[in-house]
A = this chain, B = another copy of it.
Amino acid sequence: MQLGMIGLGRMGANMVQRLLAAGHQCVVYDRDPAAVAALVEHGASGAADIAELCAQLAPPRHVWIMVPASVVDSVIDVLEPQLAAGDAIIDGGNSNYRDDIAHAARLAPAGIHFIDCGTSGGVWGRERGYCLMVGGAAEAVARLEPILADLAPGAGDIPRTAGREGPPRGAELGYLHCGPSGAGHFVKMVHNGIEYALMAAYAEGFNLLRHAGAGRAERATDAETAPLANPEHYQYDIDLAEVAELWRRGSVVSSWLLDLTANALAEDAELGNFSGRVSDSGEGRWTSIAAIETGTPTPLLTTALYERFNSQGEAEFANRILSAMRYQFGGHHEKSA
């Protein structure tokens, strides 16, 4: 099948390579001509601009956009006049599902389909396949299935869920039509919200293991230092890399994120290349906003997000207020680190 791809960053370029390997025909464009050239070497057709990309596609055209969420609008501005009724735009990036609803409404009068596709898999997706969460009109999504099926991991050798029988179907193939416009990015958004909390769960646990020798540290005996009643309970020196490796086998907490943690700790148990400033990229925020608006309690998902804000330094003024209050009522001076 023929597909146009706009945006050849880490994600877009890998997806094109996976599609080329599966025998699809890809016409590609990126602001950076070098990114286009690299894929042309792998068999893609390059385009010098969006109009040229559209011109190379036979109707009904399918144009996949893989760009930062904040740029999607301007790409659609350029793209829309180049397309005709029956064509389809797929936003495979990390857009807010609300924008999908707006985009679909905007393109509907021209008869252009808009499909939103949440894409999970990261840098591993080219090899493992991408987990695809799709929203939009059923007939438009159906037409795209050859592409979706080859981007997705397929059923693979994952043990089958109890009760499922017959040939693999639906979600077992690694892609899912989740509902009307926005449904794909909605599910992807919640996926990322969960991801933040899963990550934080492991991070907190390993950090606690790292504190297992806290009883060996000297403690000041002043009113500013909480006493430790039983230092003999905290005399351990746990090998975090070995524990991560261990838990991959037969434990209740085994997961792909744990596999990655084991990789990272095996490389450097001190994680010395990282300072602990953790970015967040939108979906975690939107997940919590959706939870708030729908009245759904998600304390872990949101706390995971706030801990990232905290790592970015955004709690600092709050903490200064706390120290100021303590000074006001108790004459407490801050301890230095």
Q: Does A207 contact B (CB under 8 A)?
A: yes
Task: Tell me the bound Cα distance from A197 to B252 in angstroms.
Answer: 12
Task: Tell me the bound Cα distance from A294 to B214 in angstroms.
Answer: 6
**B-contact bits for A222-240, CB 8 A (1 contact / 0 none):** 1111111110111111110
Name the B residues within 8 Å of A175 (CB-CB): 246
B186 close to A236 (CB less than 8 A): yes
A257 close to B255 (CB less than 8 A): yes
Q: Does A78 contact B (CB under 8 A)?
A: no
A263 close to B162 (CB less than 8 A): yes
**B-contact bits for A313-334, CB 8 A (1 contact / 0 none):** 1111111111111111111101
A277 close to B319 (CB less than 8 A): yes
Segment of A36-44, A51-59, A81-89, A266-274 in the binding face: A266-274
Knowing A300-B201, A301-B205, A306-B302 are in contact, say whether A325-B171 is a contact too (CB < 8 A): no
Q: Does A20 contact B (CB under 8 A)?
A: no
Q: Does A8 contact B (CB under 8 A)?
A: no
| Chain A contacts with B in 256-295, Cβ cutoff 8 A | 256-267, 271, 273-282, 284-285, 287-295
Complex copy number for this chain: 4
Name the B residues within 8 Å of A208 (CB-CB): 190, 193, 287, 290-291, 294, 296, 298, 301
Q: How many residues of A contact B (CB 8 A)?
A: 177
Task: Tell me the bound Cα distance from A159 to B249 in angstroms.
Answer: 11
A190 close to B209 (CB less than 8 A): yes
Name the B residues within 8 Å of A251 (CB-CB): 120-121, 131, 191
* Distance (whole angstroms) from the CB of A331 to the closest CB of chain B: 5
B296 close to A253 (CB less than 8 A): no
Q: Does A176 contact B (CB under 8 A)?
A: yes
Segment of A21-29, A94-102, A106-114, A139-147 in the binding face: A94-102
Name the B residues within 8 Å of A173 (CB-CB): 249
Knowing A260-B328, A277-B337 are in contact, say whether A200-B197 is a contact too (CB < 8 A): yes
* Across the A-B interface, the 6 shortest Cβ-Cβ residue pairs: A255-B255, A276-B319, A197-B201, A131-B251, A171-B246, A171-B245
11 A-B interface contacts by CB (under 8 A): A10-B330, A163-B263, A176-B246, A187-B243, A201-B300, A208-B301, A276-B315, A276-B317, A276-B323, A278-B322, A299-B299
Sample of 7 further A-B pairs with CB below 8 A, known A171-B242, A228-B294: A159-B259, A176-B243, A202-B325, A204-B299, A255-B257, A260-B325, A271-B317
